[in-house]
Structure 1
Amino acid sequence: MSCPALIDFEASCLPEYGQSYPIEVAVARIDGSNRAWLIKPAETWRYWDWSDEAEALHGISQQMLDDEGLPPAQVLAEMAEFVGNCTVYADADLDQYWLEVLCQAIGTKPPFPVHYLGEFLKDHGFSRPQVVAALDEAKRLLPKEHLAREDAKRLAMVVKLLVDGEVG
């Protein structure tokens, strides 16, 4: 089983600190496959806010985005292809917001909705102790944080551990 898929974005800053835009996105499926993209800033974002504190957390500089980032349209197309028919979940509603910002930059609608991971966990009847145990195990195995690929992979691992019944 490859679905569901988990998505995570990194951004130029948190919205409460200014007008932020997505700089990295990753999607991980519970079969272990994953993709991550650095996003070259859209021209409309050029004068939006950048936070040195956010850069210190995720380690992505504006220069990296200019040098290695892919155009928003390419990121969106590749991401939609990778997601396929999987339902997409995130652990924060900000991920839906940044998907919308990415789409607005190229004048399109999101190719899929981003659902809150808590809905999946509740719908499948997982208890709080089960979720905490799965999260602890995933954090032990994938301890890096504030990197979209690692965060998405960790969330996918949490779901897989729960679905496979590998945590009590």
Structure 2
Amino acid sequence: MSCPALIDFEASCLPDYGQSYPIEVALARSDGSSRAWLIRPVEAWRYWDWSPEAEALHGISRALLETQGLTAEHVLDEMADFAKDCRVYADADLDQYWLEVLCQAVRRPLPFPVHHLGELLQEHRFTRDQVAAAVEAARKRLPRQHLARDDAQRLALMVNLLVNGEV
């Protein structure tokens, strides 16, 4: 099972603290494959907010984005290719928001819709206890947080554990 795919973003700050923009995105399929991209800020975000607190959490600096980040167009192209034939899910509405910000910055349509992970869990009729057990098992295997690839992989692992009846 290569799909569904889970998406996670890291951002310049949380929206509660200002006008944020996406700086990293990852997609992970439930088969274990994943991709992550650093996003070079576009000119339109030049005066948007940057939070030292967010940088301390994800460890991504502005200098790193300038030297190793990819263009928004490149990231969107590769994301669309990696997620083709997959239904994409996120555990937070903010991931849809940051995908929209990324697309709007380069005047592109969304490469795919982002569905809430709860839809998938309800569709399969997983119980609260099953979900809680899968979340805990995935956290034990992948404990690092606030890195897009790790967060997306943890979500994909949780789904895989549930679908395969391993919890």
Aligning the two structures, in what range does the TM-score lie when normalised by the shorter sequence?
Answer: over 0.9
**CA-atom RMSD in angstroms:** 0.4
1:112-167 C-alpha deviation (Å, 9 max, x unpaired): 00000011101110000000000000000000000000000000000000000000
Letter in 2 for 1:127: T
Output the CA distance in 1 between the equivalents of 2:74 and 2:114.
Answer: 19
**3-state secondary structure, aligned to 1:35:** strand
Q: Indicate the percent of aligned positions where both proteins have the same amino acid.
A: 69
| Mapped pair 1:94 → 2:103 | no
Output the CA distance in 2 between the equivalents of 1:115 and 1:84.
Answer: 15
User: Which segments of 5 or more consecutive residues in structure 1 lack a partner in the other structure?
Assistant: none
CA positional deviation for 1:88: 0.2
Instruction: Please name the residue that 1:154 is paired with.
Output: 154
Instruction: Please name the residue that 1:81 is paired with.
Output: 81
Superposed structure 1 runs of 4+ greater than 3 Å apart: none
| Mapped pair 1:25 → 2:25 | yes
1:35-84 C-alpha deviation (Å, 9 max, x unpaired): 00000001100110000000000000000000100000000000100001
CA positional deviation for 1:85: 1.1
Output the CA distance in 1 between the equivalents of 2:111 and 2:139.
Answer: 30
User: Which segments of 5 or more consecutive residues in structure 2 lack a partner in the other structure?
Assistant: none
TM-score by length of 1: 0.99
Instruction: Please name the residue that 2:9 is paired with.
Output: 9
**3-state secondary structure, aligned to 1:49:** coil
Letter in 1 for 2:99: L
Output the CA distance in 2 between the equivalents of 1:75 and 1:109.
Answer: 13
TM-score by length of 2: 0.99
Instruction: Please name the residue that 2:111 is paired with.
Output: 111
User: How many equivalent pairs are there?
Assistant: 167
